[in-house]
Amino acid sequence: MPPIDAAGSSSPERRASLRKYERLCLKKQIERVYTNGATVRVSFLKVKFISLEDAPHEKGLPKVLFAVSKRMVRTAADRNKLKRLMREAYRTQKDVFGENEICQGSLHRSALAIAFMFQASGDKLPCYQKMQSVMRKCLRKVCTAIEKTNSGREG
């Protein structure tokens, strides 16, 4: 029996979760994202992404990775908190890929790998609302960049 969400629905499309198959785990794929991936930057987030034609994809969702450098944020507790914030912001904002038909079509053809990196230093950590708005802007920029690369291939 499928789990029931807070709204009382057992429908899987209503749940905004981050499943294991949505996480980027393979070392080869991570290296490809960091070496060959296109880059988008919004505020304190840097996003690298690449299309993985040879990788199997699950349910038309991108595979994601969240990274915070020790050089940027010294304490492990703060790094973990930032990764939790990024995961939660992505989890609630990933519907951007479903809204954009070109992104959705691209995701059904091949897997998309995305690495989110926190790129700011200082003592002040961003609040959840700021992280959420920056994440939404990042995801829209990724969709726009995918749209440009797809139109470049067709033309």
pLDDT digits (tens, 9 = 90+) for 9-35: 444 454 678 888 889 998 999 999 999
| pLDDT given at position 136 | 93
| Confidence tier at 101 by pLDDT (50, 70, 90) | low
pLDDT tens by residue, 41-65: 999 999 999 987 766 666 667 889 9
Domain boundaries, the chain: 19-147
Contact by Cβ (8 Å): 125, 78: yes
Q: Looking at domain 19-147, does it have CATH number 3.30.9.10?
A: no
Beta strand pairing status for 63-68 and 111-118? parallel
Spell out the alpha helix ranges (H) of the chain: 27-36, 76-93, 96-99, 101-109, 128-154
- The pLDDT value recorded for residue 119 is 87
Segment 125-135 mean pLDDT: 94
